[in-house]
Amino acid sequence: MGGMSRTALIQVLGAVAYGELKAHEGLVAEAGETADEQERERLLTFAGQELRHHRGFVARLEAMGADPERAMRPYRRPLDTYHGRSSSDAIDEAVWAYLGEGVADDLLEWLRTVVDADTAAFIDTVIADEEQHEEHATDELRHLLDTEPDGRQRARRAARSMIAHMLASGAGPAGPRFAAFVQVGKPVELVLRITGGFARRLAAIGVAPVSVALP
Ligand SMILES: [Fe+2]
Ligand SMILES: [Fe+2]
């Protein structure tokens, strides 16, 4: 691997490692606010998995001779901003969780095709966990859409605001460090996976395509 793509891969692994840490923190916080015992247990199990993912990506960075703290640093502010928002509307929260888990899955599916065999094997174990998270987020959202008034219309608004928020916080494709993702390889596949994933997931919940102009 050449110098530029090694640097880019370190940046991408730094972004993913920090994203996993934010996912862990978010689930711990959510578990703390959950009254239902069974649901709380499930969230704490997921939180433990996210911590395992974080540590695994940190270990991969160390194996490459990189400094994990340094690799994560540029992503702290955008990801803290992105995860810092919250809504009192249950549909907003459920749509953001559903699409957020989905983007993470799509990103990992791309990442496993551009990394070394050891990292790919680790990512496969991460994807196995994330599939459960996505399934849980999907069930939650479907339940709300079936029971809340104007569910699908509100979900459509929530999807639009989530995408706008992702772009504005610098955590998405408009972010200052997105170039690193492109340099790692297969940029077209990456963009198609993410945009295609949004469209497919919105269609899956009966929400018409949401148009967002990518800068
Ligand atoms: Fe994860
Ligand atoms: Fe997850």
Alpha-carbon distance of 109 to 204, in angstroms, equals 19
Q: What is the pLDDT of residues 34-44, one digit of tens each?
A: 999 999 999 99
pLDDT of 174 strictly over 70: no
Alpha-carbon distance of 191 to 172, in angstroms, equals 11
Distance, CA 161 to ligand 1 centroid (Å)? 23
Of all ligands present, the nearest one to the C-alpha of 108 is: 1
What mean pLDDT comes out for the span 145-149? 93
| pLDDT band per the 50, 70, 90 thresholds, residue 63 | very high
Place of tokens 């699409």: 99
User: CA separation (Å) from 169 to 12, 75, 159, 164?
Assistant: 17, 11, 15, 9
**In this structure, what token pair is assigned to residue 27?**
């689930």
Distance, CA 204 to ligand 1 centroid (Å)? 22
Average pLDDT, the chain: 89
Distance, CA 62 to ligand 1 centroid (Å)? 19
Per-residue pLDDT, 207: 83
What is the CATH number that goes with domain 3-204?
1.20.1260.10
Distance, CA 204 to ligand 2 centroid (Å)? 19
Distance, CA 1 to ligand 2 centroid (Å)? 29
DSSP state, 209?
A: P
Place of tokens 């069930």: 139
Per-residue pLDDT, 154: 92
User: CA separation (Å) from 35 to 39, 46, 94?
Assistant: 8, 17, 17
Per-residue pLDDT, 86: 82
Distance, CA 149 to ligand 1 centroid (Å)? 32
Distance, CA 126 to ligand 1 centroid (Å)? 6
CA nearest neighbour of 103 among 180, 179, 23: 23
**In this structure, what token pair is assigned to residue 150?**
């104007």
Distance, CA 20 to ligand 1 centroid (Å)? 5
Q: Is 23 helix (H, G, I), strand (E, B) or coil?
A: helix
| pLDDT band per the 50, 70, 90 thresholds, residue 211 | low
pLDDT of 173 strictly over 70: no
Q: What is the pLDDT of residues 14-53, one digit of tens each?
A: 999 999 999 999 999 999 999 999 999 999 999 999 999 9
Per-residue pLDDT, 164: 84
